[in-house]
């Protein structure tokens, strides 16, 4: 019986296998739709952290994050790269706020929290925690 995920997984015919193994297999992976400046790709820029790669210059992600009610300081503002790339793991003290967004007309009600605890990775990929209160 043929293994499910052998070296030809997803290569359904001889042409696909020839194209992959003879041409594509040793080609570096390039993501032409990542919104990194093409000059930075050409120069093989070494980014300092995931925040610079993921958020730097990507106005589509900025617009989505804004629509989720995230404060601008955590998108393109002065918050540190570390603060821009955290995961909320605990929240308490819910309250209702009314907010607007430059990308959307009008305002909307939003649930916010008096205290949140976030988890993030530092520059050495070590997991860290921090609690924010008193908005």
Q: What is the mean pLDDT of each run of 10 residues along the chain (135 residues)?
A: 80 92 83 74 85 82 80 85 79 88 80 86 74 81
Q: By the 8 A CB rule, do 100 and 63 touch?
A: no
pLDDT the model gives residue 124: 65
pLDDT tens digits along 41-70? 889 888 888 788 878 878 888 888 788 777
pLDDT the model gives residue 13: 92
The total number of residues written for the chain in this structure: 135
pLDDT the model gives residue 123: 63
DSSP summary character for residue 33: T
Which of 110, 36, 101, 90 lies closest to 64 in space, CA to CA?
A: 101
Largest CA distance in the chain: 63
d(CA 47, CA 81): 12
d(CA 46, CA 41): 9
pLDDT the model gives residue 135: 63
Give kind and range of the element (H or E) at residue 44: none
Structural tokens at position 8: 């030809």
């Amino acid at each position: 019986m043929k293994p499910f995920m052998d070296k030809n997984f997803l290569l359904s015919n001889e042409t696909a296998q020839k194209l992959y193994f003879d041409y594509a297999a040793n080609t570096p992976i390039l993501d032409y739709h990542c919104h990194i400046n093409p000059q930075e790709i050409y120069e093989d820029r070494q980014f300092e952290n995931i925040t610079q790669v993921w958020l730097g210059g990507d106005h589509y992600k900025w617009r989505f994050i804004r629509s989720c009610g995230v404060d601008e300081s955590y998108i393109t503002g002065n918050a540190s790269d570390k603060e821009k790339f955290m995961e909320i793991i605990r929240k308490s003290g819910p309250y209702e706020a009314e907010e607007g967004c430059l990308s959307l007309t009008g305002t909307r009600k939003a649930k916010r929290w008096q205290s949140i605890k976030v988890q993030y990775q530092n520059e050495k990929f070590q997991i860290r925690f921090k609690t924010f209160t008193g908005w």
